[in-house]
Structure 1
Amino acid sequence: MDPRRHAGAWLVLLRRLRQVPAGAELLSRGRLAGRLDEAYLARHTNGAEAALAAASACDIATVAAAAGLAAADVGRFYELFARTEKVVTVYSQGVNQSVCGTDKVNAILNVHLATGRIGRPGMGPFSVTGQPNAMGGREVGGMANMLAAHMDLDNPAHRDIVQAVWAAPRLAARPGLKAVDLFEAIHAGRIKAVWIMGTNPVDSLPNADRVAEALSRCPFVVVSDVIRATDTARHAHVLLPAAAWGEKEGTVTNSERRISRQRAFLPLPGEARPDWAILSAVARRMGHAAGFAYDGPAAIFSEHARLSGTGNHGSRDFDISAHAGISAEAYDALAPFLWPQPAETTSLPAQGGRLFANGGFFTSDGRARLVAVTPPVPAVVGAGSLVLNTGRIRDQWHTMTRTGRTGRLFAHIAEPFAEIHPDDAQARGIAAADLVVLDNAQGEAVLRAVVTDRVRPGEVFAPMHWTGQFSARSRIDVLVSAATDPQSGQPGLKRSIVGLRRLEARWYGFAVLAGVPAHLPFAYWAVAPLGTGRRVDGQRLEFAALEDAEPEALAAEVLQRCGHGTESLSFQSRGDGLYRAMAFLDGRLVGAVFLARQPVAVSRSWASGLMGLAVPMPATRWNLLAGRPAADQPDKGAIVCSCFQVGANEIGAAAVAGVTTVAGIGARLGAGSNCGSCRSEIARLIANVMELQEEASHVARSA
């Protein structure tokens, strides 16, 4: 279920089940009206009566109206849930990143507890957080409101355990500031120093311009990262080189509680160090040598294992004390294992055992607590405003500090965009490929318009990846409200209120270049590397100018990094508002600029493949100015498969030729046969071709 119909919708049974952003919690509560496990509720839970009473008001008609769904679809969904024994509820950021996310999660947990579908094979709630080693981070207390080894900061007995094991002179007695509140405190001057490790909050946190302003005010900012050039690192007084994933030793924990050794496969470059070594060195300089005398990851893991079992005796779920005192040699040979793995016999399940199938919840009475959930009052959206939903795209990761270094991952989508429903676009005079401005009181973002019914009327979707390193004025979290869930502290990244208008540009441009100028004097630009693997063959550039100018001057501005001694070629059609220029060095293309009064109509994948191409013949060079391949040359179309660089046109042609399965496309073209992330998009393209063929056949039969 998602308010936006993304590529994954082609893999599910009820494709139509798109709910409004505030509808997920209501939908989950309504599922309680289905199949209850009265025996499980009686033996293993508390609070069921109140939770069920709160859910009883959620009949199909009420849920459908509140969630923006058809009553028939809601009924079908409940029916499927009620008669399907093995159900896994996979939920992600749309549930978590909400100002009522705790209620949404409680509603999901209520459903699984009330139906007894928890702790057994093929059933249960499954949170997909989108973070690598997220579970491992929680195990070691990597949050402001918890201690290591799943101990509670507000539990005096737990604080005593941690303080004793660590021999700590002092230990915090109350939770610290969560991320949004932390940067607000920096902005207000209450925090004078901050150390940021492995994250990019200037782009990833809500009200992102205020986060940047907070760091600019902070007297001392330290940033540890593996990348020098990030929007956050710009504010650093001290920039520390950290070790990347493949350069350090440690453990990671996956979503089934399996802890595995991570072994370095690359040497540490330059002065880079793993985080534990950097933190330990600073702590020793600050006078805490005894507490940070670790000689390697094995010593830290041994202490972690010992802490997990201290005072436990089966009262806490996380216990790996069987590994307390592990030697460096044993740590190096450590095989993957499921926790818990206690040193003593306890009530915890044996190695590999499941939690919660027979109760045994980690509460004072061993019972799970169902929580009565009150549906939130939806925020009122003013006339002319839209609801902004932010999220991820297939081939990029967070703020692209790493994935943004390879051209192959930009081949699928290379520019920040906004998905807009056709009704909303028409009402504002917006056409496909226009540049648009999303704005509110916090700021604005300029994005490329994608007019599509993948989003609902009144809503707009934009990806969260683009930063100041890759574009001008496209950092979408500038627009996101900093309002948070009162329990989790999570911001509502999926629902902000914005205005939408067309950007009135005088010139639109697209270019492929050997190198992009350091300063681009344009109201909008977006850059992406060209090439495969670690090799960068050049850059592709989208840009727009708000002021009128001679096209020759604009092209010269863009081509200035192509080097001295270049040969140039240009074409202009004043009547059509077109200008095109190319630069050649030693017979090879080193730059091409396409300008137009409207969004530039050029085959991007074809033009991107021209960089470095040997074009010795004048006639051939003139052909390149057309902006598309000649009739006898293939055009891949937009890249769908990043692994094998297979385009939409190639997949469509294969489907027309009779290859109408995803497996068949993989066998014919390779697309979808490697990582598999493009398989749903391939399925959609095949379906589109088959639908067009059916329509053509119907027309022919009717003639």
Structure 2
Amino acid sequence: MTKTTASTCCYCGVGCGVLIEHDNERILGVSGDPQHPANLGRLCSKGSTLHQTGDLAARALFPELRLGKGLARSRTDWETAMGHAAQVFGQAIAEHGPDSVAFYISGQLLTEDYYAFNKLARALVGTNNIDSNSRLCMSSAVVGYKRSLGADAPPCSYEDIETSDCLLIAGSNMAFAHPVLFRRLEAAKAANPDKRIIVVDPRRTDTCEIADLHLAVQPGTDVALFHGILHILLWEGWVDRRFIDAHTEGFDQLKSLVRDYTPALVSELCGIRVQDLMEAARMIGSAPSFLSLWCMGLNQSSSGSAKNSALINLHLATGQIGKPGSGPFSLTGQPNAMGGRETGSLANLLPGHRDAANAEHQGEVAAYWGVERMPLNPGLSAIELFEAVRAGKIKALWIACTNPAQSLPNQALVHEALAGCPFVVVQEAFATTETCAYADLLLPAASWGEKEGTVTNSERRVSHVRPAVPAPGEARPDWAIVCDLAQRLEKQLRPGQPSLFAFANPAELFDEYKGLTAGRDLDYSGLSHALIDELGPQQWPFPSGAERGTERLYTDGRFPTPDGRARFIAEQFQPPKEKREARFPLLLNTGRLRDQWHGMSRTGTAAQLFGHVEQALISLHPDELRSRKLSEGQLVRVKSRRGSLVLPVQADEQVRPGQAFMPMHWGNRFLKGLGINVLTQPEFDPLSKQPELKQAAINLQPVELPWELFILVEDQVQQRFAALRPLCEDFEYASFALTGRERSALLVRVAHTEAADAAWLAKVDALLGLDDGPVLVYDDPRRAVGKRVRIEDGRITAIRLTGETAARDWLRNVWTSGEADADLRRWFLAPLSSPPGGAAVSSDKTLCNCMNVSQSQIEAGIARGLDLDGLKAELGCGTQCGSCVPEVKRLIGRRANFVEA
């Protein structure tokens, strides 16, 4: 019998409600929840394919323990696993002190999980060495809100996106990163064409398609831009002196600072036209309401805190805060990064928006938990933490629901740190992540659709995450794993005392935690799991006795500072730590793809999500390719001061000359060479400790790798992936992906200076099932060309090409069609592997993932005269999340230009 359970998506901070279709054992489908106020039934391509990410072959199902470095892990039981973990952590604490252990957790945990981890680290172990991967995405926003407004509290609601008269999007490709919100913005713009939209981004992303003005600033110059806009606002009299005088402090100092940021200077620093700067200021200064949205482009910077405060300055100067359609609105990157900030899950924080270094706050939390005191030593933030691990200062490290061996900058250091750490515990749902390879103890965790708790989205809305099916194997909820460890450690660290972790379910954790928010800016005290079930998701503050949440903060002009006034922050523009120079003449930017998520531990199990982009590429402006005499798809070696990668190059007019772009998602699992973050730098903001992942100086040179390998194989995809990946370690280039719209397969590309030997190829053929049975075979050792194709019931199920692989895209099309025709058999008679007739064949990408529509289908519809509405009606593309619409429009425009020419 099919059932439906209302829950929440586990990807970005929009916090979309989802309806999970299931049979109590398996998740069968997912749709948007029309009753959830965050998304009103909409889902993006990632959320709508959540049910496709349940491949058990990728999951951690049982505890696994390694009893010595260099040995393989073996399956064990929970009692042995947790007993061993408690013994090792307890011994490290006894011999080296509480700061010899550390916890690195995740913005994808639930609030209850977070709270359990925080209480474990601080109340029981006695260390502030607990940090979250939110350090990599949101910590600069935390500092910006706290310094300028007094608390880490985004003041806006999603409806402000629709009601704002002028909207500034800075450092966010919202169309890809937060597509459900972007659809709301598109609809609002269509309903009100007079709504003005400014996009600040070095690249011309899909988000820019909606912009009235795109400011393609030089990377890292946002502070100069915002100071320059304020300079013009002051000059033109577009500031609200009444608001400034009544509700703020520090304006005169800022006014003196920005006097020097003239339009001419800012134009030169930012690389934009003076008239565009003037137009941006006019739009903002003359608008009845002004809203700003930002994400990683501002936060991932060595001056991220200054960028946040400089943007908030514009709102304070114009009085555009605390009213409909106005305010500074940080778009949260992860589903519960907000919940982590609320519970104190950064090294410098305590629960309830308290500071770990504040003596009064320490006393409040210690008294609430019934312990003598909070730890006094400063905790280690993410970058500092892994440097301490590498230096041997951390003896035992607990990692939960995150993948630092892919996501942190300077990956060579991170891998060295993990390899040398005496004891690494990884608490993870997916056993395939890069970090799991370093786990001395791997603990299987329950995942989305299997666990219960709460999350807080970008607009401060708390939703109840409900389970639909049991966790597979012996996987446990994260909070339960933490409490199990804590109860065992209590016997060593506080024997004979009542347990601090006697929680029977997540609701009990929530009810204890909310007491730490009472009377604070984020007051949760009126909420409970049951009340959310009754009223629906609610925005905090929601104090005891409240009947509904709070849509908008600071409506009375009072801020949570000692004197009730907001603060202007006056800081000079500081350029990025790395600059272009002769040895590294390009500046690398990183960002998101439309259909992938973070390190792809989950999305990397769904073949459909590789349909739009299936391999890591470095993008350069076409003029940059021409000047370097590079061709599309050519392999290049990309170098920074920290490491190098080999990958293909592509032309991309979204990128300005002198710059480069690479997606953030590829790690060492899908791309040989430790992934994208082997290049990025660990320099961080001095206040937020957030690293400057967005700017790294690089160089690139073509590489000649004449021998190639191409593999396409169906069935047992995860198992074959796990077996093939280590075999490709010695090659210069290796890329892995899933592929297929109707049928899933593993796709492997390898290139090297020399051909692999016969023994290696025999091992690969055995793994692919190409060593026996209905297999077509052609070998030409003299040319190092080899062909293997397995055909079962008239269709291709496995392909292996070596030497020269020109026929790979043609073969993929034959595989997709499901029919192995006569051309395939004739192709085997040819000495080389070019496609029949020598014609060049390109692979067809999935342009609309929600409706599984390929680019060729859309181009065929355009050729028949269909416009956007006609394509939507006939093919369904653009009718769900809408992320494909900008690209569809470009294809329509390209066709129109071609016909006109």
Normalising by the residue count of structure 1, what TM-score does the alignment of the two structures yield? 0.89
Q: Specify the SS of the correspondent of 1:149.
A: coil
Deviations 1:438-458 (A, max 9, x none): 113321112211122321111
Q: Match of 2:791, as an amino acid? A: F
Q: Match of 1:119, as an amino acid? A: G
- Give the deviation of 1:579 after TM superposition: 6.4
Cα 1:152/1:654, change in 2 over 3 Å: same
- How many angstroms apart in 2 are the aligned matches of 1:417 and 1:258? 37
Q: Specify the SS of the correspondent of 1:39.
A: helix
Aligned to 1:654: 861
- Give the deviation of 1:588 after TM superposition: 3.2
Deviations 1:208-243 (A, max 9, x none): 111111111111111111011211111111111111
Aligned to 1:680: 886
190, 205, 218: which one aligns with 1:6: 205
Aligned to 1:149: 352
- How many angstroms apart in 2 are the aligned matches of 1:460 and 1:144? 33
- Unmatched segments (≥5 aa) in structure 1: 697-703
- How many angstroms apart in 1 are the aligned matches of 2:612 and 2:470? 32
CA contact (8 A) 2:809 2:843 kept: no
**After the TM superposition, which residues 175-186 of structure 1 pair with which residues of structure 2 at under 5 Å, given as runs?**
175-186=378-389
Q: Are residue 455 (structure 1) and residue 655 (structure 2) matched? A: yes
- How many angstroms apart in 1 are the aligned matches of 2:375 and 2:836? 66
Q: Are residue 307 (structure 1) and residue 516 (structure 2) matched? A: yes
- How many angstroms apart in 1 are the aligned matches of 2:227 and 2:680? 27
Q: Specify the SS of the correspondent of 2:648.
A: strand
- How many angstroms apart in 2 are the aligned matches of 1:27 and 1:505? 44
- Give the deviation of 1:423 after TM superposition: 3.5
Aligned to 1:294: 503
CA contact (8 A) 2:796 2:815 kept: no
Q: Are residue 252 (structure 1) and residue 455 (structure 2) matched? A: yes
Q: Specify the SS of the correspondent of 2:500.
A: helix
Considering Cα pairs closer than 8 Å and 6+ residues apart, tell me whether 1 or 2 has the greater RCO: 2
CA contact (8 A) 1:25 1:103 kept: yes
72, 79, 84: which one aligns with 2:275: 72
Give RMSD over aligned pairs: 2.9
- Give the deviation of 1:590 after TM superposition: 2.4
CA contact (8 A) 2:332 2:457 kept: no
Q: Match of 2:707, as an amino acid? A: W
Q: Match of 1:568, as an amino acid? A: L
Aligned to 2:487: 284
Deviations 1:148-181 (A, max 9, x none): 0112222222211111111123312353111000
- How many angstroms apart in 2 are the aligned matches of 1:568 and 1:492? 51
Deviations 1:323-379 (A, max 9, x none): 4xx6x866765632221122379xxx9842521132211110000000002011454
Q: Specify the SS of the correspondent of 2:809.
A: coil
Aligned to 2:421: 218
Deviations 1:278-306 (A, max 9, x none): 11111110116521111111111111122
Aligned to 1:429: 629
- Unmatched segments (≥5 aa) in structure 2: 1-199, 715-719
Normalising by the residue count of structure 2, what TM-score does the alignment of the two structures yield? 0.70
Aligned to 1:205: 408
Q: Match of 2:202, as an amino acid? A: P
How many residues are paired up?
Answer: 674
Deviations 1:423-481 (A, max 9, x none): 43334332110111111332111221112232111111111211222221260111111
CA contact (8 A) 2:453 2:466 kept: yes
CA contact (8 A) 2:785 2:803 kept: yes
Aligned to 1:525: 734
| Paired-residue identity, % | 37
Cα 1:142/1:9, change in 2 over 3 Å: same
Cα 1:653/1:86, change in 2 over 3 Å: farther
- How many angstroms apart in 2 are the aligned matches of 1:605 and 1:689? 26
Q: Match of 2:524, as an amino acid? A: I
Cα 1:572/1:474, change in 2 over 3 Å: farther
Q: Specify the SS of the correspondent of 1:448.
A: strand
- How many angstroms apart in 2 are the aligned matches of 1:125 and 1:605? 48
- How many angstroms apart in 2 are the aligned matches of 1:333 and 1:61? 57
**After the TM superposition, which residues 659-674 of structure 1 pair with which residues of structure 2 at under 5 Å, given as runs?**
659-661=866-868, 663-674=869-880
- Give the deviation of 1:621 after TM superposition: 3.5
Aligned to 1:467: 667
Q: Match of 2:573, as an amino acid? A: P
CA contact (8 A) 2:248 2:566 kept: yes
Aligned to 1:565: 773
Q: Specify the SS of the correspondent of 1:602.
A: helix
Deviations 1:191-211 (A, max 9, x none): 111100111001100111111
206, 230, 234: which one aligns with 2:437: 234
- How many angstroms apart in 2 are the aligned matches of 1:474 and 1:454? 26
CA contact (8 A) 1:467 1:475 kept: yes
- How many angstroms apart in 1 are the aligned matches of 2:846 and 2:826? 26
- How many angstroms apart in 2 are the aligned matches of 1:157 and 1:208? 38
- How many angstroms apart in 2 are the aligned matches of 1:604 and 1:71? 53
Q: Match of 1:566, as an amino acid? A: P
- How many angstroms apart in 2 are the aligned matches of 1:653 and 1:484? 49
- Give the deviation of 1:416 after TM superposition: 0.6
**After the TM superposition, which residues 680-699 of structure 1 pair with which residues of structure 2 at under 5 Å, given as runs?**
680-694=886-900, 696=901
Q: Are residue 443 (structure 1) and residue 638 (structure 2) matched? A: no
- How many angstroms apart in 1 are the aligned matches of 2:755 and 2:505? 61
Aligned to 2:704: 504
211, 223, 229: which one aligns with 1:31: 229
- How many angstroms apart in 2 are the aligned matches of 1:296 and 1:331? 16
- Give the deviation of 1:585 after TM superposition: 4.0
Aligned to 1:495: 695
- Give the deviation of 1:582 after TM superposition: 2.5
780, 797, 808: which one aligns with 1:590: 797
Aligned to 1:340: 541
- Give the deviation of 1:605 after TM superposition: 6.0
CA contact (8 A) 1:530 1:608 kept: no
CA contact (8 A) 1:388 1:459 kept: yes
Aligned to 1:410: 610
Which shows bigger deviation, 294-303 or 75-84? 75-84
542, 556, 565: which one aligns with 1:367: 565
Cα 1:334/1:305, change in 2 over 3 Å: farther
Cα 1:23/1:691, change in 2 over 3 Å: farther
- How many angstroms apart in 1 are the aligned matches of 2:806 and 2:260? 51
Q: Specify the SS of the correspondent of 2:392.
A: coil
